[in-house]
Amino acid sequence: MFGFPVSTEFNKRIPKQKFYENIEVSLAVKRIFVEQIRIIYWRNKLAAATLNLAAGDAVTEIEVFEVKLNAPQLDEAVLRQIDKAIPYHILFVLTYEGKAQAWIGYKEASSGGTLKVNRYYHTDWVPENELQFTISGLNMDAVYESLVRQIAGERLQAAPNESLKVSVGRDEARRRLEKQIAALENAMRKEKQLNRKMELNAELKKLRKELDNLLC
């Protein structure tokens, strides 16, 4: 399923209540689990043993969860709650009426040693049978990096020998610059004073140049 080897298949249904019962979760998140999710399946277990690869330094397993939805959208808070509850890396496949969308969090170890999601990346919605992944790499760290890049697409296009951490950091910088540029463009449209408009335009040119340099 989804292009993963048969040796990785697990296909176990997980009651969604496990992610919010007897755990400190807000009522809003519980409501999202109830209203937005129909069924959760643990489809695959990607590990050194199931893939016949070397173990990774940072990644031991990647779990593949299929989340069947009641509507073609899911609040990110639910993914964060599941990621928080499971001490491994997770690839989510959201499915609804024959369409699928993949989500994966870029996880790093916190100071306490636990894994924490910094940011999620996702694909567009596509026909379910077209969502296929490739296992690439000689160890689990490389497999995880490859899957994150496959899902993120052009946002994490790597320069030669660039690590995933550097690529994610560059993407974060791009997002910040794009947000600042949008805010300045909005301010310029509203500004009436010519002198202030010229100042904003100069700052806008500076940020656009920074963005161009970042994308080179």
Please report the pLDDT score of residue 118 as a whole number: 83
Q: Which of the four pLDDT bands, split at 50, 70 and 90, describes residue 210? A: confident
Query: Looking at the structure, do residues 141 and 206 belong to the same domain, yes or no?
Result: no
What's the rounded Cα separation, in Å, for the pair 99 and 39? 15
Q: What residue numbers bound the domain in which 61 lies?
A: 6-157
Query: Looking at the structure, do residues 142 and 50 belong to the same domain, yes or no?
Result: yes
Query: Looking at the structure, do residues 134 and 211 belong to the same domain, yes or no?
Result: no
Contact in structure between 50 and 135 (CB atoms under 8 Å): no
The average pLDDT across 166-183 equals: 90
Q: For the chain, how many structural domains are there in total?
A: 2
Nearest Cα neighbor of 58 from 120, 124, 172, 144 is: 144
Q: Which of the four pLDDT bands, split at 50, 70 and 90, describes residue 162? A: confident
Residue 206 lies in a domain: yes
Residue 163 lies in a domain: no
Contact in structure between 138 and 121 (CB atoms under 8 Å): no
Query: Looking at the structure, do residues 133 and 45 belong to the same domain, yes or no?
Result: yes
Query: Looking at the structure, do residues 147 and 199 belong to the same domain, yes or no?
Result: no
Query: Looking at the structure, do residues 151 and 175 belong to the same domain, yes or no?
Result: no
Residue-wise pLDDT for 55-114, tens only, equals 999 999 999 999 999 999 999 999 999 998 898 999 999 999 999 999 999 988 776 667
Query: Looking at the structure, do residues 89 and 27 belong to the same domain, yes or no?
Result: yes
Supply the pTM of this predicted model. Answer: 0.85
Residue 164 lies in a domain: no
Q: Which of the four pLDDT bands, split at 50, 70 and 90, describes residue 1? A: confident
Query: Looking at the structure, do residues 52 and 98 belong to the same domain, yes or no?
Result: yes
Query: Looking at the structure, do residues 102 and 57 belong to the same domain, yes or no?
Result: yes
> Where does a domain end: 136, 157, 178?
157
Report DSSP letters for 153-213, one per residue. GGGGPPPTT--HHHHHHHHHHHHHHHHHHHHHHHHHHH---HHHHHHHHHHHHHHHHHHHH
Query: Looking at the structure, do residues 82 and 19 belong to the same domain, yes or no?
Result: yes
